[in-house]
Amino acid sequence: MNNKNYLLGLDIGSSSIKAALVDSDTGEAVGAAQSPDKEMLINTPQPGWAEQDPESWWFHVKEAISKLTEEKSGLKDIKAIGISYQMHGLVLLDKGHKVLRPSIIWCDSRAAETGEEAFNTIGHEKCFKQLLNSPGNFTASKLAWVKNNEADIFDKIKYAMLPGDYIAYRLSGELNTTVSGLSEGIFWDFKNHKVSDDLMNHYGLDTNVLPPEVPTFSIQGELSAIASKETGLPAGIPISYRAGDQPNNALSLNVFKPGELAATAGTSGVIYGILDRLNHDSQSRVNLFAHVNHSKEEARLGVLLCINGTGILYSWLKNQLFGGQISYPEMNELAASVPAGSDGLRIFPFGNGVERIFQNKPFGGSLNNIDFNRHGRAHIVRAAQEGIIFALNYGFEAMRDLGVLTQTVRAGMANMFQSELFCEIFASVTNTTVELYNTDGAIGAARGAGIGAGIYNSTDEAFASLKSLKSIKPNPLITDIYSELYHQWKNELKSMLNNK
């Protein structure tokens, strides 16, 4: 590893912390590590709640770095650090910069009613014009929930921030955030290009509780002496990029321009497209945030469709049906052993908190039409894949209404996109070509760090080595079949929604 320059990317997920080392000269990933080996715990003290201890993120950041850099000779050659992080979480610090309570993370739904009340009181038109979204169940509403329900904690708050802001602070000792981050928390006023006075005043929040803004691509701090001692990395390495996991996933797939699309199917499933103008979904089924290359002068908005219950459904089935004693590839083989449509069995994968496509109203997951004499575990696994894809396509229809049109979706060859069957069904249901790449959030964060530190002069240079591994087109043999199956699934969903 001597005489080489490297970029370090950290991906702060709710399941694990991933770290990647990228050779800045070739753009190739040369190392990867993860901590913990099994999924991190998400605490659910009440139904609909989801919390994690930010200190556990920091512990596993250090563990992942330690695994990645066991060959000590390469440590001195890391030139920049980039951070990707789980979106919409809330981390609270007191005046001594100590964590006040567990982080209220992305899939926690306790603030949905708080956000809905703000939406109605501030006014739908004003929210859409300024915030591009309903305040919903996002970070600002979570902070307001703490104010309304945990006054003793709220009174001690000095700073409120996102998960990535906290990890950047632990690395550098400096507190700051980004416009992209503020927009994902629904703090940002796109009309007036600042934190929203209307929202903060409505919630009774002081703007000073938010850290100062820095550009997404910039020197946001340097590795402190304290963090150097804890991580084993040399002090002074610049932290030069930070973004939420979905904007960062798009970046990792070189998705920057209007009309380009990225997808992921991890714990949650996301389709993320780029628009070049301010817009909104009047039904709040999808959300718009500042993309990593958004600026006041040139709008670049990420249109985000999220289905919470995606990979987590697959993981749940693995544990509940098979006691965890089966691999995901083996589950994929089982799914391929039954016909399209799973012999009438249908799954609605909405069991991981409230869903935005249903205006943050509780829905719950369900398995319909089961026949005890006909359906087995293979049918359930295939119905899960189909239900996840149908749910994504249902949301994709809202994206198309906003003008997000494309024939190609880019995805990393990871999580559910490792399944050939999943990719084929996805392409055929959405009528898009799926391009798969050997990249992930940690690798993308490393390349983003290279841009922010000035090591790369452009995004084209940063992603010159990114090549498509495989392209999956809609299968004409099943396109018509799945068109009808999706129609049936959608009609059944509408019937269920009408009865809620």
pLDDT for 185-232, tens place per residue?
999 999 999 999 999 999 999 999 999 999 999 999 999 999 999 999
| pLDDT tens digits for range 375-425 | 999 999 999 999 999 999 999 999 999 989 888 999 999 899 999 999 999
So what's the pLDDT on residue 391? 97
What distance separates the 2 farthest-apart alpha carbons in the chain?
65
So what's the pLDDT on residue 125? 97
- d(CA 420, CA 295) in angstroms, rounded, equals 38
So what's the pLDDT on residue 132? 97
Question: Does the pLDDT value for residue 272 go beyond 60?
Answer: yes
So what's the pLDDT on residue 41? 92
- d(CA 395, CA 392) in angstroms, rounded, equals 5
Spell out the domains of the chain, with CATH numbers in brackets. 6-247 (3.30.420.40), 307-436+470-498 (3.30.420.40)
So what's the pLDDT on residue 362? 78
**pLDDT, average across residues 272-290:** 94
Confidence of residue 71 (pLDDT cuts 50, 70, 90): low
- What phi and psi values does residue 236 have, to the nearest 5 degrees? 95, -5
- d(CA 180, CA 289) in angstroms, rounded, equals 7
In contact, 130 and 189? CB cutoff 8 Å? yes
Contact residues for 198 (Cβ-Cβ < 8 A; gap 6+): 122, 126, 130, 189
One-letter amino acid of 45: P
So what's the pLDDT on residue 356? 84
Rounded to 5°, the CA angle 213-173-208 comes to 40
Whether this prediction's pTM lies above 0.85 is answered by yes
Helix or strand holding residue 412 (H, E): strand 408-412
- d(CA 213, CA 194) in angstroms, rounded, equals 10
So what's the pLDDT on residue 183? 98
So what's the pLDDT on residue 352? 87
So what's the pLDDT on residue 75? 67
| pLDDT tens digits for range 327-336 | 999 999 999 9
So what's the pLDDT on residue 444? 97
Question: Which tokens sit at 250?
Answer: 């798009």
Question: Which tokens sit at 101?
Answer: 């309570």
Burial 227-252 (b: 16+ CB within 10 A, else e): bbebbebeeebbbbbbbbbbbbbbbb
- d(CA 262, CA 282) in angstroms, rounded, equals 23
Confidence of residue 1 (pLDDT cuts 50, 70, 90): very low
| pLDDT tens digits for range 117-159 | 999 999 999 999 999 999 999 999 999 999 999 999 999 999 9
**pLDDT, average across residues 160-178:** 98
In contact, 450 and 24? CB cutoff 8 Å? yes
